[in-house]
Amino acid sequence: MPQNAPAPILLADYSPYPFQIDRVHLTFRLDPEATRVLSRLEVTPLDPGRPMDLFGEDLKLVHDSHNRPKLAINGAAIDAEPLDETAAPYAKGIRINARDIPNEPFTLTCEVEINPSANTALEGLYMSSGMYSTQCEAEGFRRITYYPDRPDVMAPFTVRIESDEKVLLSNGNPTASGPGWAQWEDPWPKPAYLFALVAGDLVAHSDAFTTASGAHVALNIWVRPGDEHKCDYAMDALKRSMRWDEQVYGREYDLDVFNIVAVDDFNAGAMENKGLNIFNAKYVLASPETATDRDYELIEGIIAHEYFHNWTGNRITCRDWFQLCLKEGLTVFRDQQFSGDMRSHAVKRIDDVLMLRARQFREDNGPLAHPVRPESFVEINNFYTATVYEKGAEVIGMLKTLVGDAAYAEALDLYFDRHDGQACTIEDWLKVFEDATGRDLTQFALWYSQAGTPQVTVDDQMKDGVYLLHVSQKTDPTPGQDHKDPKVIPMATGLLQDDGRETLATTVLDVNGPRQTFAFYWHGDAWQQHAPATPAPAPEKPTPSLFRGFSAPVVLVRDTSEAERTVLLAHDTDPFNKWEAGRGLAKNVLIAAIVDDAKAPDTWCEALNQVLTDGALDPAFRALILALPREDDLAQTIHQSGLVPDPSAIHAARRRIKGELGAALAPTLTRLFEQMHSAGPYSPDAKSAGKRALRGAVLDLISLTDGGALASDLFAQADNMTESLNALTALLAAGHGAAELDAFYARWKDDRLVLDKWFMFKTLYAAPADAARATAEITTHPAFDWRNPNRFRSVLGGLAGNQAGFHHAGGAGYQVYTDWLLKLDPKNPQTAARMATVFETWTRYDADRQALICAQLDRMAQTPGLSRDMTEIVSRIRSA
């Protein structure tokens, strides 16, 4: 950490709050610029003699007619002093002196004024498109009123909203209402970060659900008038999620009503507020004309994710923010299981691993690397990361693999039984597994405390008729962690003979030391781990299929021969490793093209042709096989092999290989394009989506050889957004499509969510040398509402995704990107800091690019008033 870096908050400094909040009563008098929040807390001192610290930011304490602050205990006005740094670094708020606090239960009242219209940070209570909405995770409630805003303080809330807005919503059940007011009661004790309030001119798409034990639940999805016809899919996904959690985890819903609200301005995907989930509108609204298959899939997954939080996050929450993965890792794992059950496990797993490698591995191997459970942070909003979420989910998957499905189910039952209503830690979570299984999880716990992606090296040999797998592991140092211990790594392994016969079905090998050897003996017609009494003559050395299903978040280091990969691609019974073999072949071809100018080998084209024409394979799976590794992935691979990636060369070579592949496979591609056509109306189901995905992947290659003719036709005819966009992206990636892009704008300029896609294409598909200029230009468009996070992310995220454009020599891409981060930061530090993480890969590149990126990092670091969020991210990236 550089010298002027702010001091971090430490896990080791945790101490419990010395008061219990028995009940919270809140009254909101809503006003766009001057909302009054009256709070009445029923409090029991737990450790008499201690002062009471309440967090609060940007609050105006209201004064009475005698100019006394409206802050009172048992009705008597009291004074408070500002919180000092000893309470918690940077925490703003007030401290009530111990001498003013009774030694018995008391009532604390206060009244503050806040300004929702001025709130552009989208944390706390804010206005978005004329409606009131809240976002309190992680520490936004302190922008609403003075409160012990920490997750281990849980209380039941009663909320009264006074406003002329049509719809007034909060957590829990509606208990009373009249003209201009409504009251809500949430009987389940909850931390303040799960508080929510919504008020506005909204309409509901309503339905109902009967729980397994017969309770009736009213379901509503609240949207702006006109959008109510775009909610069917989200509602269907919600009902399927509710049923699934009953059937798979035995978890029922626990209130009379479940509300979801879609809002336009939102910093993330969605938020699991108790009984009142608030969503980024893009993860709710869908119609065949406006949403792609991918959008539908994300809606299903995020609706499930937020719903599943009701048990994993809300009923059982986190003791402190260091434990974030307790709720997020588990809930991601659960939503992945759900999506797999709804669609295809193989395809879902491949998608999840692609994303893990693209985002989490990159994070884990760079300056922002941190453990799944961090031990220090400056700004908690900077820790909603791929490591906490996605690696956190992988850790749970490994635990399940190690203990087995039955023990996992038992442990989860015990978790819900033992900890319902509590704020827990990772230690609590692991203890449940230890108690349920009798296993010692001390070594496994390293997955939570040690950052970095383990590299597992595997060599194999035949020795005296015995097949040996030699396995070793190592993890490179990460910032602040030089020493790494060996981890417990479940290595799901199968063996195949050259003719494709599987001679060892999936077997989980427990890798747990720095180096180990696993032996396999031939018996009958298969390999086994125990030496038979009478040794049989062994056949040829098998091909190992390692880390089946991607059984651990590690990098496999192995000199896999092309012959081995070809056997696995053709014959592996594990779909993940079948795909992985194809992936490995494609990567080798691309690297050879980038580094040595090599052409696409015939053998590779033929192997792909085989897979593509195998009608027994799911089209969605075939589409994944055909999708070549992306430019950023190739840059990372080249970097890890000790070379310096050149983004322009990567872009050009990848495009050339796609063209050669397209030419080699032309007849197959044309045939598949026809075969994958579905007649009839659009349906978002996985099977139809898979056909469209394959059709799109095929079109992408065809468009490099036919001048875009076929894609232009499809664009003109398509009656759904998926095929329109498949056509448009194929055209743009091939250097065509300017007219189509204009037509797309003309058709969709009044639909915010679709227009975001157009904005993204303007930068994502700009010619590399022109990307910076194109970005500067599009940001002058009247519809570029940069305060809207979706719009900002479309344009700037599009630029960052345009690898060759962003990294174009000269640094104009870095410059314009940084200009916009600095403009956004004072308004919305959370989103600015998140977007600044694209620079985490800077050490990969050549000296010129490194200097250009560092100049921008330094420019940000030296900007007066830079937010704490950005200061932390920029200084961590820079210290690489």
The residues binding Zn ion (CB under 5 A) are: 328, 331
Contact between 96 and ligand TRP per CB under 6 A: no
Q: Taking a C-beta distance cutoff of 8 angstroms, is the pair 271, 307 a contact?
A: no
125 contacts which partner out of ligand TRP, Zn ion, none, CB within 5 to 8 A by kind? none
Determine the longest span between alpha carbons in the chain, in angstroms. 98
Contact between 316 and ligand TRP per CB under 6 A: no
Q: In what order do the strands lie in the sheet with 276-280?
A: 203-210, 216-223, 257-263, 276-280, 270-271
Task: Look up residue 388 and give its two tokens.
Answer: 């906490």
Q: List the interface residues with ligand TRP, window 529-548 (CB under 6 A).
A: none
Q: List the interface residues with ligand TRP, window 480-509 (CB under 6 A).
A: none
How many other CB atoms are there within 10 angstroms of residue 421's CB atom? 11
CB of 332 to Zn ion, least distance (A): 7
Closer to Zn ion by Cβ: residue 306 or 502: 306
Distance (Å, rounded) from C-alpha 785 to C-alpha 253?
Answer: 38
- In 3D space, the residue among 620, 615, 692, 699 whose CA is nearest the CA of residue 662 turns out to be 699
Closer to ligand TRP by Cβ: residue 119 or 720: 119
Give me the residue whose beta carbon is nearest to ligand TRP: 268
CB of 171 to ligand TRP, least distance (A): 15
CB of 271 to ligand TRP, least distance (A): 4
CB of 269 to ligand TRP, least distance (A): 7
137 contacts which partner out of Zn ion, ligand TRP, none, CB within 5 to 8 A by kind? ligand TRP
Closer to ligand TRP by Cβ: residue 268 or 546: 268
Q: Which of 272, 306, 394, 502 is catalytic?
A: 306
502 contacts which partner out of ligand TRP, Zn ion, none, CB within 5 to 8 A by kind? none
163 contacts which partner out of ligand TRP, Zn ion, none, CB within 5 to 8 A by kind? none
Cis link prior to 138 (omega < 30° from 0)?
A: yes
Closer to Zn ion by Cβ: residue 328 or 460: 328
- Find the helix or strand (DSSP H, E) in which 200 lies: strand 197-200
Task: Name the 3-class secondary structure at 855.
Answer: helix
Closer to Zn ion by Cβ: residue 267 or 331: 331
Contact between 306 and ligand TRP per CB under 6 A: yes
The dihedral built from the CA positions of residue 173, 177, 180 and 181, taken in this order, carries a sign that is negative
Residue 260 CA, distance from chain mean position: 20
Closer to ligand TRP by Cβ: residue 268 or 350: 268
- In 3D space, the residue among 301, 303, 313, 312 whose CA is nearest the CA of residue 340 turns out to be 301
Number of residues lying near ligand TRP (CB under 6 A): 12
384 contacts which partner out of Zn ion, ligand TRP, none, CB within 5 to 8 A by kind? ligand TRP
Distance (Å, rounded) from C-alpha 518 to C-alpha 490?
Answer: 13
Task: Name the 3-class secondary structure at 349.
Answer: helix
CB of 389 to ligand TRP, least distance (A): 7
135 contacts which partner out of Zn ion, ligand TRP, none, CB within 5 to 8 A by kind? ligand TRP
Distance (Å, rounded) from C-alpha 567 to C-alpha 578?
Answer: 9
Q: Taking a C-beta distance cutoff of 8 angstroms, is the pair 549, 492 a contact?
A: yes
Options 186, 295, 328, 631; binder of ligand TRP; rule CB under 6 A: 328
Q: List the interface residues with ligand TRP, window 118-177 (CB under 6 A).
A: 135, 137-138
CB of 324 to ligand TRP, least distance (A): 9
Closer to ligand TRP by Cβ: residue 143 or 849: 143
Q: List the interface residues with ligand TRP, window 254-283 (CB under 6 A).
A: 267-268, 270-272
Closer to ligand TRP by Cβ: residue 268 or 774: 268
C-alpha distance across the termini of the chain, in Å = 10
Active site residue 306: yes
Residue 353 CA, distance from chain mean position: 12
- In 3D space, the residue among 481, 480, 494, 491 whose CA is nearest the CA of residue 513 turns out to be 491
DSSP conformation class of 245? H
Task: Name the 3-class secondary structure at 251.
Answer: coil
Q: Phi first, then psi: what are they for 267, rounded to 5°?
A: -75, -20
Closer to Zn ion by Cβ: residue 193 or 758: 193
Instruction: Compute the half-sphere exposure of residue 144: CA atoms within 13 Å on the CB side of its CA.
Output: 32
CB of 277 to ligand TRP, least distance (A): 9
Task: Look up residue 307 and give its two tokens.
Answer: 């719903």
CB of 309 to Zn ion, least distance (A): 6
CB of 306 to ligand TRP, least distance (A): 6
Options 14, 90, 209, 384; binder of ligand TRP; rule CB under 6 A: 384
Closer to ligand TRP by Cβ: residue 325 or 569: 325
Q: Taking a C-beta distance cutoff of 8 angstroms, is the pair 569, 624 a contact?
A: no
- In 3D space, the residue among 837, 370, 361 whose CA is nearest the CA of residue 637 turns out to be 361
Q: List the interface residues with ligand TRP, window 670-699 (CB under 6 A).
A: none
276 contacts which partner out of Zn ion, ligand TRP, none, CB within 5 to 8 A by kind? none
593 contacts which partner out of ligand TRP, Zn ion, none, CB within 5 to 8 A by kind? none
CB of 301 to Zn ion, least distance (A): 11
CB of 382 to ligand TRP, least distance (A): 11
Closer to ligand TRP by Cβ: residue 581 or 870: 870
Closer to Zn ion by Cβ: residue 152 or 272: 272
The percent of the chain in helix, strand and coil, each rounded to the nearest 5, is: 45, 20, 35
- In 3D space, the residue among 789, 843, 845 whose CA is nearest the CA of residue 821 turns out to be 789
Residue with tokens 């209570």: 125
270 contacts which partner out of Zn ion, ligand TRP, none, CB within 5 to 8 A by kind? ligand TRP
Distance (Å, rounded) from C-alpha 869 to C-alpha 880?
Answer: 18
CA of 32: how far to CAs of 29, 118, 276, 317, in Å?
10, 9, 21, 32
271 contacts which partner out of Zn ion, ligand TRP, none, CB within 5 to 8 A by kind? ligand TRP
Distance (Å, rounded) from C-alpha 490 to C-alpha 224?
Answer: 48
How many other CB atoms are there within 10 angstroms of residue 767's CB atom? 13
CB of 295 to ligand TRP, least distance (A): 18
Distance (Å, rounded) from C-alpha 812 to C-alpha 530?
Answer: 62
Q: Phi first, then psi: what are they for 341, rounded to 5°?
A: -65, -35
268 contacts which partner out of Zn ion, ligand TRP, none, CB within 5 to 8 A by kind? ligand TRP
- In 3D space, the residue among 825, 824, 760, 819 whose CA is nearest the CA of residue 795 turns out to be 760
What amino acid positions are annotated as catalytic residues? Answer: 306
Tell me which residues touch ligand TRP (CB under 6 A): 135, 137-138, 267-268, 270-272, 305-306, 328, 384
